[in-house]
Structure 1
């Protein structure tokens, strides 16, 4: 696992570089991985949403303090793709947290270029993204999170259980939930995650 983590980190990019890639894809009408009209449209929409969040995210003083108080360095390695709607809602928060802590280094890899890493962090057997892997200085996995908060996951699971489908209405419901929640579920779970520091804890 350590070699896989190190190999992935060697190829990872910063949030700034990821956004440069994001913008190029939007400007060129492209996306990553398997190219479909839907994924191209989602990439454009996600870029707009993530840039808006970058400008509007605000953390409470208590939240800021909890992340600043980290006593040892961590790398937050995120597996994602620009077409992923859940990633557009969470990556800006990962970056905001990393920007206020000297002990968090945020790195990003694309899922379809790192399937071996992805397959080590499946969610119920699925390559669901985004996936945040928190790594210590010895390349040990402290914890991992994703692809959504508990509350967002429940919303999706309840809908699928009732209607047995993932459709546009579910995506609309989820987006409305994200808009209303304003990242609180994500930030609170990450607070709990880094404070507990329990090996391989999953949220």
Structure 2
């Protein structure tokens, strides 16, 4: 089990957002007609507004499967799930609300949000095919032993991204809209199945 305490100094953990605080940050930047992160543009502002609306809706409507609830409730190890993200990220808007919803029944799991561009050392340690793809979930125990990682999207969505990059016959905006339609149809079930597999792996590791 890899220890990643050096990636999470006190300054990082103390400045991490709770999910409620992160939602308030998103509301704030939308009101100020900007976004989070180093890059600022009208397009990113537009995506941030869309993402806030998506997350507010999903916070009310996401349904956690009974199977994932049972797996979550079997967690007996105190742990923190750090999620790297930025407000403009469409994948984050679809995945973070169900991740948070899944944890609500087990007080041993704490979710903390970290902004990608403010935490380059952590992001560089969790690249996806060399890229700074978000959201990225890193679950650690109380001693900062890495339990599992996930992200930036479910495997089916990741395969869609790989296929698009290999043969970009449509604009990225068209592809992004296609990806969002997939998320809506999937209803976070792919994500929830993948979380169950990861959590069961942690349980097995701690049984033996």
Shorter-chain TM-score above 0.5: yes
Aligned with residue 44 of structure 2, among 20, 29, 39:
39
Aligned with residue 3 of structure 1, among 6, 11, 34:
6
1:113 counterpart = 2:118: yes
Aligned with residue 82 of structure 2, among 57, 74, 77:
77
1:86 counterpart = 2:57: no
Q: Is the 8 A contact 2:64 2:98 kept in 1?
A: no
Deviation at 1:160, TM superposition (A): 2.3
Higher relative contact order (CA 8 A, sep 6+): 2
Deviations 1:99-119 (A, max 9, x none): 121211000110000011100
Deviation at 1:60, TM superposition (A): 2.3
- With normalisation by structure 2, the TM-score equals 0.91
- 1:165 and 1:75 map into 2 onto residues whose CA distance is 39
Which residue of the partner structure matches residue 150 of structure 1?
A: 155
Q: Is the 8 A contact 1:15 1:107 kept in 2?
A: yes
Q: Counterparts in 2 of 1:1-203, with a 5 A limit?
A: 1-7=4-10, 8-33=12-37, 34-163=39-168, 167-197=172-202
Deviation at 1:95, TM superposition (A): 1.0
Deviations 1:107-144 (A, max 9, x none): 01100000111001011111110000010111111111
Q: Is the 8 A contact 2:65 2:192 kept in 1?
A: no
- 1:164 and 1:122 map into 2 onto residues whose CA distance is 26
Query: Alignment length, in residue pairs?
Result: 199
Structure 1 unpaired stretches of 5+: none
RMSD after superposition:
1.5
Q: Is the 8 A contact 1:12 1:109 kept in 2?
A: yes
- 2:126 and 2:201 map into 1 onto residues whose CA distance is 20
Deviations 1:14-52 (A, max 9, x none): 000000000011112111121111110000000001111
- 1:176 and 1:140 map into 2 onto residues whose CA distance is 36
- 1:11 and 1:195 map into 2 onto residues whose CA distance is 30
- With normalisation by structure 1, the TM-score equals 0.93
